[in-house]
Amino acid sequence: MLFEFTEEQLMIKQAARDFAQTELKPGVIERDEHQQFPAEQIKKLGELGFLGMMVAPQYGGGGMDAISYVLAIEEISKIDASTAVILSVNNSLVCNGLEKFGNEFQKEKYLVPLAKGESIGAFCLSEPEAGSDATSQHTTAIDMGDHYLLNGTKNWITNGSTASTYLVMAQTNGAKRHDGINALIVEKGMAGFTIGPKENKMGVRGSDTHSIMFDDVKVPKENRIGDEGFGFKFAMKLLEGGRIGIAAQALGIASGAYELALQYSKQRKAFGKPLADLQGIQFKLADMATEIEAARLLCLRAAWLKDHHQPYAQASSMAKLFASDVAMRTTVEAVQIHGGYGFVKEYHVERMMRDAKVTQIYEGTSEIQRIVISREILK
């Protein structure tokens, strides 16, 4: 693994950083306060090619590698983790799923507008009784010959109201359990498709999270991804890559909070000297910087393995597990370094602390990551 970035990778990193500073930072506190979706900013990111970064140019994407993706997500997450998770779902789960496993008809109809940023996608796996246990799908897709009849509810759907294309896992043959699950492409506006109320979340409040309900939705057979019963394998494979995006998001939250804490420690004076001159603060900053660098290397290693078509399930779970824990520890310490100012919104770190928590939960909890890692090392 090379530890030097290419000129193109550095350009992408700088472009993402510039966009975050100029387009995302103004208004980020207000968007968090009012749970406002960053529609204008997402539109601009789509025009810049960030919604389909890793998709091949023939399908409207940027043809970039996973390392470039990690660099971009980190820079955006330093300022606005809500925007980062919108990008992460569209890139890692929806676009990647369609490009890797969809047929040419599905790619032309759905992937191209998603990669170009003309539309947004959502990934629908979790249910009221099927979160970490993804095999317990209660949403059903009954085979009706030329179509499936889809019924059920999906929970915690990122881009729930703003998406136009939804990748939905549903049980067609319960007797086969996970081998009876299908992956279906569902369009907003299909009869029987209903979007539930927006969840009032602790963090990443700028991203829209909803429940999605299906009541006798007719999904054409041509919208099934892969063979009959492929849905569970499809979802699990995509989550391996999705964890790289969430790890990069956690990394960005941590590094953004660290940069703010470092800057504040140099400006704020206590006992007649800057906070940064106090050994207790220096120890905190040293620990934060060390853990962030370790998390960054884990993220880049997982991305490198993916780029080189090597197994990366263990690496992505390690990156997601460690980076999300680092994000929590770092943001808590950033608030502590800021003291009372860390507890108010205008200094950003309290929002980062709230945003960090969800990185330990979605794409599989920290406990699930430990299960994945242990299974890989015990093979």
CB-CB contact of 355 with 340 (8 Å): no
Residue 363 a catalytic site member: yes
CB-CB contact of 95 with 121 (8 Å): yes
Q: How far apart are CA 279 and CA 314, in angstroms?
A: 37
Q: How far apart are CA 121 and CA 117, in angstroms?
A: 10
Give the helix ranges, DSSP H, for the chain: 7-19, 28-34, 39-47, 66-79, 81-88, 96-101, 104-106, 112-116, 231-267, 279-307, 313-338, 349-359, 366-377
CB-CB contact of 51 with 84 (8 Å): no
As a dihedral over the C-alpha atoms of residue 135, residue 139, residue 144, residue 147, rounded to 10 degrees, the angle is: -100
Q: How far apart are CA 248 and CA 250, in angstroms?
A: 5
Residue type, 147: H
* Residue found under tokens 């569970």: 232
Which is the catalytic residue, given 23, 99, 291, 363? 363
CA 201 to chain centre: 16
Catalytically active residues are: 363
